[in-house]
Structure formats: C-alpha cells, structure tokens
Amino acid sequence: MWGRAVRMERRRRESGETSAAKRRLQMSDIARLAGVSTSTVSRALSGSALVNEETRTRIADLARSLNYSINVGAKNLRLQQNRTVAVVIPYDTASGQSISDPFFLRMLGSVADALTERGFEMLLTRVDAEHLNAAAAFYDGGRAVGIILIGQWHHHDQLNELAARRVPLVVWGAHLAQQLYCTVGGDNFAGGEAATEHLIGLGRRRIAFLGDVELPEVAQRFAGYREALARHRLPFDRRLLAPIAFVAERARAAVQSLIDRKIEFDAVFACSDVLAMSSVSTLRENGRHVPTDVSVVGYDDIEMAAFFNPPLTTIRQSIEIGGRALVDCLFALLEGRAELPKVLSTELIVRATSVPPPNR
C-alpha cells in the first residue's frame, strides 16, 4: 500500500512545486508513509531491537527507496556534540573468526590511539559479513559521525552503495576496480609475490597456498603468488591451494589433508601469521621439520611472530600506520575532502621458518 505513497512522495519532491526546504525529506515523512511514529522510524533506522524485524525491514526498504539518509552525524560533528566513530568488524558465521584474532587487536589499538589523540571515542561493534550495509545504521541513527570498517569480505557492491549514499566510510582492504569508497590497505600483490619469490629462492618448488581467494585481499596475494610461479616457469598445482578462512583450525585441517593425501609440498605460504603458525605446529606433529623439510611464510607480522618457535618468516604490513591512515582518511571525508585509496608498502621479514636448507 505504501508503494503508491512512495511514488506520490517522489513526484511531489521532483515537481518543483515546493521550496527546497520543504522538499527535504524528514523522518516524519517516513513515519507518515510507513504508518508508524517518528520515534519508531528513528529506532528502526538505528537498528534498535525495540522494533520488530519486519517493521525494521519495511522502514529500511522505504527509506532506501527514497534515497533517505540521516545527516545527524555530520550535523553533530559541526556542532561538536557527537565525538564518536563506529569501528566495525564483520562477523563471518561460516568461519567463526574471532575478534580476538591478533591482527584485529593490533588494528583496533592503532585506530583507538589515533581517535583518542583527536578527542574522539570509538564505538566497537560487529555486523554480519553478508550484510555489510548494516554498518551504516550507526551513522544513520546519529550514534557515530562516520564508519571505519575492518575488511571488505565478499560484498564490495554493498560498500559501493553506502559510498553512493555519501555515508562517511573508510575500509581496511584491497583497492578494487570501480571502487567508490575509500580504502586503506597493504600492497597485497607485492606481498604475495615477495613471499613466493623468497621460497623459490630457497629452492622450494611445491609451495602450498593457504587462504580464501574469494576475499579481495587474499585474491591479490594469490595473484602475486601465481605471478612468481609463472616467472620461474613453475606449474601451478591446484591441489596445493587450500581456500580456507583466517582460522587456525582450518590451517591445521588443510595441512593435515595434504599430508594424508600424500601430496608433495616443500613450502607453505599462509595468508596470515595465525594460519602459518598453525601450519608449523601441524607439520611438527607429523614429523616434518621446519625449515629443513618444509619452509613456511606467514603474513602480517603480528607481535608473536618474532617469538614463535621457530621465529616466523612473514610479510610485514604496517598495521599501526594503517590504523592511523584509516582515521585520517575518515576525517578528511567528514571535512568534505575526497580521499584516494591508500596502498601501503609491505616488507619481507626473514626469520627461522625459511632459512636455506642444507646441501641446496
């Protein structure tokens, strides 16, 4: 029934019969069209559990169809009343990756420090990785002046939609084609290439790759891995690809599967240090010596990588610089300045899990 009302509202706004001020859609208009109170609309758009899911969905669909977004966040920033930034970590129900992952903890620490220096608070929350657009509720409801999202996951399209709505959003992730939103992230292609070149330089020829290549950052690391193999005329064996989430148990299962299926491999390139360390432990349990039998390289250079036994070779991303860059880019957007994606350099850090094997 409200579909007809929406069409009438659009025609009214586009007819030019009213002044610009009157054409500006108000929350009360949404309430009138939806047949609910203004307070219900406010709660629904902020994701409040006080409004049932059916009503929340109906109001959100109605607001979206009218290209409605609440600018309370930006207004409050100008008035210096709201000094909160929402930092969102998506939750993937399929993998169950925990917020206690060392990468997330280091990134959150860097972001929190940068916000504190600016006199702002951090609202830490999670959204379903399949519904990244839900992150906008904190801005739409006026609870935060902007959003920092840690990870693109599989929904680049949803993030583009938020950017098209002018939601102040900065994302830690890969720079992708036709991207409307601002990203900060490491040079994933160069990182993947450097890790693989290093392993090939040690004489390794059967290099297993651990990581979910459907994720943008991992896909770019995988492209670097393939490029290095091709440069040295080494064939890519699909059996050596383990498309797993960033969860230690998945790495353990993947390496154990390679061993059980008697698939030959003499190196592992894992797309996180947690995956790499789990791989080393599994190899050790199966009587494989690292690095003599199998060399291992991780990714991120989390703090415990240097203190692991043996110390882990890894690709370093400057997470501290990345966290501060996310905050800087967000405030540039809030000040009306367009920000280009920032691609940060990566660095190979060689430690004991990938030293030259004897007699090679």
- pLDDT at 286 (0 to 100): 98
Residue 20 has pLDDT above 60, yes or no: no
Assign domain 72-186+319-345 to its CATH architecture. 3-Layer(aba) Sandwich (3.40)
Residue 359 has pLDDT above 70, yes or no: no
String of DSSP letters for 180-207: -SEEEEE-HHHHHHHHHHHHHHTT---E
Please state the CATH superfamily assignment of the domain spanning residues 188-317+348-354 in this structure.
Response regulator (3.40.50.2300)
Portion of the chain with pLDDT greater than 70, in percent? 85
> Mean of the pLDDT values across residues 329-336?
93
Q: Could you tell me which residues are beta bridge partners of residue 127?
A: 90
> Mean of the pLDDT values across residues 34-59?
78
Between 58 and 330, whose confidence is greater?
330
- pLDDT at 77 (0 to 100): 47
Radius of gyration of the chain (CA): 24
> Mean of the pLDDT values across residues 303-312?
96
> Mean of the pLDDT values across residues 197-216?
97
Residue 58 has pLDDT above 50, yes or no: yes
pLDDT tens per residue across span 280-292: 999 999 999 999 9
pTM value? Answer: 0.77
Start and end residues for every CATH 3.40.50.2300 domain found in the chain: 72-186+319-345, 188-317+348-354
pLDDT band of residue 172 (cuts 50, 70, 90) is: very high
- Greatest Cα pair distance in the chain: 85
